[in-house]
Amino acid sequence: MDEILHTTYQEVEERHWWFVGRRLLIWQLLKKYYGSGKKAVILDVGCNSGFLVAQLQAAGYDAAGCDISAEAVSYGQNQGRRGLSVCVLPQLHYPNGQFDAVLCLDTLEHIRDDKLAIREIGRVLKPGGIAIVTVPAFMFLWGLQDEISHHFRRYTKKELLVKIQAAGFSIERVGYFNFFLFPLIYLVRQAAKIMPLRRRSDFDINNKLINYVLKNIFLLEIWLLKIISYPFGVSLLIVAKKK
């Protein structure tokens, strides 16, 4: 990923509708698996500057994070965020079986050998540990963000299921999200192929009202994921347990 994009992430991660909604999804899942007061040991792979890592630590989790960008890690450390280091999947510098949970949030699509990366996530998990994985869905949604982020692919549910199960995981949950905004995102990306938009990335939203509206739509959808599932979406979620 370009360093300029890492910088954009650092600027918007706290307030952009996409990051806010995805964090809510992660909190819901962690509460389900570790809501009884257990102090889970958690690794966030591809943590950028460690914003979520710092929030996890503040909530009482023993959390660490790593990212390929030395600049992003340095930025986080300068913000006083602890437990951050530079790493390059599929070669993590942690011992076998160290973590209760590994978060791999929109990271696998950046890895050429994603099968090896998934096995490496399994290596650092304890037996019975949980991997929470999110990835972009459907190649027909390929667009500017995929190009500038140097993605290798977008996924289907079947493709990701096969790869995760082959790495020795059982599936706890699988499904799509970012469903409500799917038609809008699809139309914008199709239009951009005809009339390219002048922006650095999909995260360039300077209008606070637009961001507010999108954030609340996305938050409602994420909350509803506790009781319903969606037939498709812009993104894909898998929760898997190490056997």
Delineate the domains of the chain, giving CATH numbers in brackets: 3-242 (3.40.50.150)
Residues near 156 by beta carbon (within 8 Å), at least 6 away in sequence: 137, 138, 236
Question: In whole angstroms, what is the distance from residue 166 CA to residue 179 CA?
Answer: 28
Instruction: Give the pLDDT of residue 196.
Output: 66
37: left (phi over 0), alpha (psi -120 to 50) or beta: left
**Each residue of 145-180: pLDDT tens digit?**
898 889 999 999 999 999 999 999 999 999 999 999
Could you identify the residue written with the tokens 């499904």? 175
Instruction: Give the pLDDT of residue 148.
Output: 85
Residues near 145 by beta carbon (within 8 Å), at least 6 away in sequence: 151, 201, 202, 203
Chunked mean pLDDT (size 10), the chain, 243 residues: 55 88 96 81 96 95 96 93 96 97 98 98 98 98 88 97 98 98 92 69 71 96 96 98 97
For the chain, first and last CA: distance in Å? 32
Closest CA to 99 of 74, 131, 75: 131
